[in-house]
Chain A
């Protein structure tokens, strides 16, 4: 790639972003701009960086790794398909998590996986995982995961997505607002309610343990 063209692209990005130089400095944006120019190695690098964390994040929507992997593959194919129209208006991760969240929510709404997931929820899922009496810590972890899962299932999809983006996607409130198309104060409220629900559920579990 010749220097003048790269300089022009950086200038173009700078103009597009209304002077927010911060985003231009995002190395992932630079990688994605290289993907836009047809650099497949840059795409492979982005996949290596984010596919793993995305599987962990998307898995919290479905509680099924195979489905999470399928969704994440679809996300990266969407990224590749959209490369020519990519405009770095925000951090790359905001764009990537927007695609991932929308894809996951669409899959949830399609309901293809819902029966499969509900059939495996809560205690059933733990039973299928198999008893592991030697590892009390693992068991406690599973119970905690089950509690969190049960609480998350009660939340509307958007609230659940906001909670997952903050807690398991590592996104800031302003990023979540941008991803879900809601205000930062709405994110704050949703994240508070979801976290409070998990806290309350954990407290109740503790009380039951104490009482039995």
Chain B
């Protein structure tokens, strides 16, 4: 391995990311090359500094804010799931069929409306309807008797 190809392996070498065979080759080169050892040292110092950088931690209210947002999301999710369910073609067809059945039921089932007073009186004298054909011409019949009487007198 020459210096250029070893140099490109040095960061992975420091990160412990080289395969055993590649690591052995780099080790062998480093044992003989002062310049690459210096480079390795310089890279190791840089990595050391980078790893020493303070990481930003979350603010004190961060978790509380998140769980509040989470609860809102969950609530919105329930409403959204219901809307999604309603918008399914099968559900829409089912709802339409149910509405049609309801309309048919409203018109097909006989209504039980309370009868009026006149209807009640008529119902209580149903026998009068048996002679209705005769009774409806009662006036004429009465006139007929008068005419007949006049005829007899004449």
- A145 contact set on B, CB distance < 8 A: 53-54
Q: CA separation between A56 and B9, bound complex, in Å? A: 28
- B59 contact set on A, CB distance < 8 A: 65-66, 69
B124 CB to nearest A CB, Å = 69
Check: B73 CB closer than 8 A to any chain A CB.
yes
Which segment, of B63-71, B102-110, B115-123, B135-143, faces chain A? B63-71
Q: CA separation between A47 and B66, bound complex, in Å? A: 10
Which segment, of B27-35, B43-51, B87-95, B126-134, faces chain A? B43-51
The answer to whether B73 and A192 touch across the interface, beta carbons within 8 angstroms, is: no
A121 CB to nearest B CB, Å = 16
Check: B56 CB closer than 8 A to any chain A CB.
yes
The answer to whether B11 and A51 touch across the interface, beta carbons within 8 angstroms, is: no
Q: CA separation between A171 and B9, bound complex, in Å? A: 18
B26 CB to nearest A CB, Å = 13
Check: A33 CB closer than 8 A to any chain B CB.
no
Q: CA separation between A203 and B11, bound complex, in Å? A: 16
Residue positions of B touching A, CB distance < 8 A: 8-12, 15, 17, 42-43, 45-47, 49-59, 62-63, 65-66, 69-70, 73
The answer to whether B17 and A173 touch across the interface, beta carbons within 8 angstroms, is: yes
The answer to whether B73 and A55 touch across the interface, beta carbons within 8 angstroms, is: no
Residue positions of A touching B, CB distance < 8 A: 47-48, 51-53, 55-57, 59, 65-66, 68-69, 72-73, 76-77, 80-81, 141, 144-145, 148, 166-168, 172-173, 188-189, 191-192, 195-196, 198-199, 202-203
The answer to whether A144 and B73 touch across the interface, beta carbons within 8 angstroms, is: no
Q: CA separation between A43 and B46, bound complex, in Å? A: 37
The answer to whether A195 and B66 touch across the interface, beta carbons within 8 angstroms, is: no
The answer to whether B51 and A167 touch across the interface, beta carbons within 8 angstroms, is: yes
- B69 contact set on A, CB distance < 8 A: 73, 77
Q: CA separation between A157 and B142, bound complex, in Å? A: 115
A selection of 16 A-B contacts at a CB cut-off of 8 Å is A51-B58, A51-B66, A55-B56, A55-B57, A56-B55, A69-B58, A69-B59, A80-B70, A144-B52, A148-B50, A188-B17, A191-B11, A192-B8, A195-B47, A196-B11, A199-B46
Tally A-B pairs: CB < 8 A: 91
The answer to whether A144 and B53 touch across the interface, beta carbons within 8 angstroms, is: yes
The answer to whether A199 and B57 touch across the interface, beta carbons within 8 angstroms, is: no
- A53 contact set on B, CB distance < 8 A: 55
The answer to whether B55 and A168 touch across the interface, beta carbons within 8 angstroms, is: yes
Q: CA separation between A59 and B55, bound complex, in Å? A: 8
- A73 contact set on B, CB distance < 8 A: 62, 65-66, 69
Q: Which B residue sits closest to A163, measured CB to CB?
A: B50
The answer to whether B56 and A202 touch across the interface, beta carbons within 8 angstroms, is: no
Known: A195-B47, A199-B42. A173 touches B54 (CB 8 A): no
* Residue in B10, B47, B56 with the greatest tally of chain A CB atoms within 10 Å: B56
The answer to whether B62 and A144 touch across the interface, beta carbons within 8 angstroms, is: no
The answer to whether A191 and B49 touch across the interface, beta carbons within 8 angstroms, is: no
- A48 contact set on B, CB distance < 8 A: 63
Q: CA separation between A75 and B45, bound complex, in Å? A: 34
- B8 contact set on A, CB distance < 8 A: 188-189, 192
- B73 contact set on A, CB distance < 8 A: 77, 80-81
The answer to whether B53 and A173 touch across the interface, beta carbons within 8 angstroms, is: no
Give which listed residue, A47, A56, A80, A199, contacts B43 with CB less than 8 A. A199
**Top 6 closest A-B pairs, CB basis?**
A56-B55, A199-B46, A59-B56, A192-B11, A55-B58, A173-B17
Give which listed residue, A59, A68, A192, A198, contacts B12 with CB less than 8 A. A192
